[in-house]
Structure 1
Amino acid sequence: MKNVQCSIGFVLSLPYGKDSREVASFYKSLIKPLVSLIYHTPQIPVSIYMGGALLEMLRSHNGAFFDVMKELCERKQVEILGGGFYEPLFPLISKPDRIGQVELLTTYLRQEFGKRPRGCYLPFGIWSPDLASTLATAGMEYVLLPDVHLSHAGIRMGTQAAFQHYITEHDGKTLCLLPVSTRLKSTLYQGSPREFLEGLLDLPLRDQGVLVLMEDFASWSTLSPSRQEAVLAWWTELFSLLKTRYGELDLRLPRDVVREIVPTRRIHLPPLILSPEGNSEHFYVRQEVSRIEEPHLLYAKMQYVQSLVRQLRGDRSRKKTAREDLYRGQTGAAYSIVSGDGGVACPWLRHAAYRALIQAEKNTREKGIFYPSVVKTDFTFDGYPEYLFQGERYNAYLSTKGGAVFELDILEEEWNLLATCGRYPFLKLEGSSLSGEDKEPRLLFVDRFYEEGVTLEHCIRGTALVVADFSGAHYTVDHYSRDVLDITLSHEGVVRQGRRQTGIHISKRYLFGPDTLRVRYHLVLEGQPSHPLRFVPEINLSFPPQVPRKMRYMKEGAGGPRDASFLEAGKERAEKVLFLPEGKNGSTCLVSFDKEVPLWHYPVLTAGKKAGETALQGIALLPLVDIFPHTSEYTLEIAISPAVKG
Structure 2
Amino acid sequence: MKSIFFVMGLHNHQPVGNFDHVFEEAYQHSYLPLLQTLMEYPALRMMYHTTGPLYDWLEGHHPEYFDLLKVLIDRNQLEVMTSPYEEPILAIIPDRDKCGQITKMSRYLTERLGAKAQGLWMAERVWEPHLARPLAECGVKYITLDDYHFQGAGMSPDELLGYYQTDEQGHSLSIFPINQKLRYLIPFSPPEEAINYLRSRANESGRNLLVMADDGEKFGLWPGTYEWVYQKGWMRQFFTLLREAMTEGWLKMVTFSQFMEANPPRGRVYLPTASYFEMSTWSLPPQSGATFEHLIHQFQDQGRMDELKPYLKGGIWRNFLAKYDESNRMYRKMLWVSDRLARAETLLKPDQEEEHQTLAHARDRLFKGQCNCAYWHGVFGGLYLPHLRHAIYQNLIEAEDHINRITNPDGGFTEILVSDLNADGSDEVYLRNHRVGLIFSLREGGTATEFDYIPARFNLLNTLRRQQEAYHENVHKAGTEIEQGQSIHDQFLTKEIGLERFLVYDRHLRGSFIDHFFSAQESPEALREGRYYELGDFVGGPYELTESDTTTGRIRLERHGRVVDNEVIVVKIIETLPAEAGVQVEYRVINRSSFPLTIAFAPEFNFALLGGNYTDKYYYRIEGESERQPLNSMGQSENNRRFSLYDENDGFAVHLDFEEPARVWRYPVETVSMSEAGFERVYQSSCVLPVWNLEVEPEKVFVAKFRIVVEKLKTEG
CA deviations on 1:180-239 (whole Å, 9 max, x unpaired) are 111221223443111221122112555442100013145679744x53221333222100
Q: 2:396 aligns with which of 328, 346, 357?
A: 357
Cα distance, 1:20–1:164 mapped onto 2, change above 3 Å: same
Give the Cα–Cα distance (whole angstroms) in 1 for the partners of residues 356 and 277 of structure 2: 39
Whichever residue aligns with residue 142 of structure 1, its letter is: Y
CA deviations on 1:491-530 (whole Å, 9 max, x unpaired) are 011123xxxx221111111111132212211001222679
SS at match of 1:99: helix
Q: Percent identity?
A: 23
Q: 1:299 aligns with which of 325, 331, 340?
A: 331
1:331 corresponding residue in structure 2: 371
SS at match of 2:513: strand
Give the Cα–Cα distance (whole angstroms) in 1 for the partners of residues 262 and 171 of structure 2: 21
Q: 1:569 aligns with which of 618, 622, 634?
A: 634
1:411 corresponding residue in structure 2: 454
2:572 corresponding residue in structure 1: 508
Task: Please say if residues 176 and 258 of structure 1, whose CA atoms lie closer than 8 Å, have aligned partners that are also in contact.
Answer: no
Whichever residue aligns with residue 636 of structure 2, its letter is: K
SS at match of 1:290: helix
For residues 320-469 of structure 1, what are the structure 2 equivalents within 5 Å? 320-338=360-378, 340=380, 342-366=381-405, 367-368=409-410, 371-401=413-443, 402-426=445-469, 431=499, 436-469=504-537
For residues 132-531 of structure 1, what are the structure 2 equivalents within 5 Å? 132-156=132-156, 159-203=157-201, 207-217=206-216, 223-224=222-223, 226-232=224-230, 233-246=233-246, 247-274=249-276, 282-312=314-344, 313-314=347-348, 315-338=355-378, 340=380, 342-366=381-405, 367-368=409-410, 371-401=413-443, 402-426=445-469, 431=499, 436-496=504-564, 501-514=565-578, 515=580, 516-527=582-593
SS at match of 1:425: coil
Structure 2 unmatched ranges of 5 or more: 283-312, 349-354, 476-497
Give the Cα–Cα distance (whole angstroms) in 2 for the partners of residues 432 and 177 of structure 1: 44
CA deviations on 1:571-605 (whole Å, 9 max, x unpaired) are 1112221111357x921111222222221111111
Whichever residue aligns with residue 390 of structure 2, its letter is: H
SS at match of 2:429: strand
Whichever residue aligns with residue 194 of structure 2, its letter is: F
Whichever residue aligns with residue 364 of structure 1, its letter is: I
Give the Cα–Cα distance (whole angstroms) in 2 for the partners of residues 279 and 239 of structure 1: 33
Give the Cα–Cα distance (whole angstroms) in 1 for the partners of residues 537 and 229 of structure 2: 51
Structure 1 residue 88: Cα displacement? 0.4
Give the Cα–Cα distance (whole angstroms) in 2 for the partners of residues 150 and 102 of structure 1: 25
Cα distance, 1:354–1:275 mapped onto 2, change above 3 Å: farther
1:587 corresponding residue in structure 2: 652
Give the Cα–Cα distance (whole angstroms) in 1 for the partners of residues 398 and 166 of structure 2: 38
SS at match of 1:327: helix
Whichever residue aligns with residue 228 of structure 1, its letter is: Y
Give the Cα–Cα distance (whole angstroms) in 1 for the partners of residues 261 and 576 of structure 2: 61
Give the Cα–Cα distance (whole angstroms) in 1 for the partners of residues 505 and 31 of structure 2: 39
Give the Cα–Cα distance (whole angstroms) in 2 for the partners of residues 236 and 270 of structure 1: 38
Whichever residue aligns with residue 174 of structure 2, its letter is: C
SS at match of 1:273: coil
CA deviations on 1:146-171 (whole Å, 9 max, x unpaired) are 11001121112xx3202221100012
1:550 corresponding residue in structure 2: 618
Whichever residue aligns with residue 31 of structure 2, its letter is: I
- Residue-pair matches, total: 634
Give the Cα–Cα distance (whole angstroms) in 2 for the partners of residues 148 and 96 of structure 1: 29
CA deviations on 1:238-261 (whole Å, 9 max, x unpaired) are 001112222221111011122221
Cα distance, 1:547–1:259 mapped onto 2, change above 3 Å: farther
Give the Cα–Cα distance (whole angstroms) in 2 for the partners of residues 571 and 528 of structure 1: 33
Task: Please say if residues 337 and 400 of structure 2, whose CA atoms lie closer than 8 Å, have aligned partners that are also in contact.
Answer: yes
Give the Cα–Cα distance (whole angstroms) in 1 for the partners of residues 560 and 523 of structure 2: 26
Structure 1 unmatched ranges of 5 or more: none
Task: Please say if residues 85 and 102 of structure 1, whose CA atoms lie closer than 8 Å, have aligned partners that are also in contact.
Answer: yes
Task: Please say if residues 580 and 588 of structure 1, whose CA atoms lie closer than 8 Å, have aligned partners that are also in contact.
Answer: yes
1:84 corresponding residue in structure 2: 84
Task: Please say if residues 281 and 314 of structure 2, whose CA atoms lie closer than 8 Å, have aligned partners that are also in contact.
Answer: no
Cα distance, 1:409–1:218 mapped onto 2, change above 3 Å: farther
Give the Cα–Cα distance (whole angstroms) in 2 for the partners of residues 279 and 61 of structure 1: 37
SS at match of 2:364: helix
2:41 corresponding residue in structure 1: 41
Give the Cα–Cα distance (whole angstroms) in 2 for the partners of residues 484 and 470 of structure 1: 27
Cα distance, 1:100–1:69 mapped onto 2, change above 3 Å: same
Whichever residue aligns with residue 460 of structure 1, its letter is: R
Cα distance, 1:561–1:485 mapped onto 2, change above 3 Å: farther
SS at match of 2:455: coil
Task: Please say if residues 46 and 77 of structure 2, whose CA atoms lie closer than 8 Å, have aligned partners that are also in contact.
Answer: yes
Give the Cα–Cα distance (whole angstroms) in 1 for the partners of residues 219 and 533 of structure 2: 43
TM norm structure 1 = 0.93
Task: Please say if residues 165 and 173 of structure 2, whose CA atoms lie closer than 8 Å, have aligned partners that are also in contact.
Answer: yes
For residues 46-65 of structure 1, what are the structure 2 equivalents within 5 Å? 46-65=46-65
Whichever residue aligns with residue 115 of structure 1, its letter is: A
2:113 corresponding residue in structure 1: 113
Task: Please say if residues 586 and 703 of structure 2, whose CA atoms lie closer than 8 Å, have aligned partners that are also in contact.
Answer: yes
Task: Please say if residues 503 and 672 of structure 2, whose CA atoms lie closer than 8 Å, have aligned partners that are also in contact.
Answer: no
Whichever residue aligns with residue 198 of structure 1, its letter is: N
Give the Cα–Cα distance (whole angstroms) in 2 for the partners of residues 560 and 567 of structure 1: 15
Give the Cα–Cα distance (whole angstroms) in 2 for the partners of residues 52 and 165 of structure 1: 27
Task: Please say if residues 573 and 586 of structure 2, whose CA atoms lie closer than 8 Å, have aligned partners that are also in contact.
Answer: yes
1:131 corresponding residue in structure 2: 131
Task: Please say if residues 493 and 505 of structure 1, whose CA atoms lie closer than 8 Å, have aligned partners that are also in contact.
Answer: yes
Whichever residue aligns with residue 328 of structure 1, its letter is: K
Give the Cα–Cα distance (whole angstroms) in 1 for the partners of residues 684 and 218 of structure 2: 21
Cα distance, 1:260–1:410 mapped onto 2, change above 3 Å: same
Structure 1 residue 41: Cα displacement? 0.6
Give the Cα–Cα distance (whole angstroms) in 2 for the partners of residues 304 and 277 of structure 1: 27
CA deviations on 1:389-424 (whole Å, 9 max, x unpaired) are 221211112221211211111111111101111111
Whichever residue aligns with residue 708 of structure 2, its letter is: I
Bigger Cα displacement from structure 2, 227-236 vs 288-297: 227-236
Cα distance, 1:531–1:485 mapped onto 2, change above 3 Å: closer
Task: Please say if residues 528 and 629 of structure 1, whose CA atoms lie closer than 8 Å, have aligned partners that are also in contact.
Answer: no
Bigger Cα displacement from structure 2, 327-336 vs 430-439: 430-439
Of Structure 1 and Structure 2, which has the larger fraction of its residues in helix? Answer: 2
Whichever residue aligns with residue 338 of structure 1, its letter is: G
Task: Please say if residues 415 and 431 of structure 2, whose CA atoms lie closer than 8 Å, have aligned partners that are also in contact.
Answer: yes
SS at match of 2:120: strand
Give the Cα–Cα distance (whole angstroms) in 2 for the partners of residues 204 and 307 of structure 1: 51
Structure 1 residue 332: Cα displacement? 0.7
Task: Please say if residues 163 and 210 of structure 1, whose CA atoms lie closer than 8 Å, have aligned partners that are also in contact.
Answer: yes
Bigger Cα displacement from structure 2, 55-64 vs 619-628: 619-628
- For the aligned residue pairs, the C-alpha RMSD in angstroms reads 2.4
Give the Cα–Cα distance (whole angstroms) in 2 for the partners of residues 259 and 538 of structure 1: 63
Structure 1 residue 561: Cα displacement? 7.1
Structure 1 residue 463: Cα displacement? 2.3
Whichever residue aligns with residue 527 of structure 1, its letter is: S
SS at match of 1:34: helix
Cα distance, 1:363–1:219 mapped onto 2, change above 3 Å: farther
Structure 1 residue 437: Cα displacement? 1.4
Give the Cα–Cα distance (whole angstroms) in 1 for the partners of residues 336 and 519 of structure 2: 40
Give the Cα–Cα distance (whole angstroms) in 1 for the partners of residues 390 and 566 of structure 2: 42
SS at match of 1:398: strand
Give the Cα–Cα distance (whole angstroms) in 2 for the partners of residues 75 and 87 of structure 1: 27
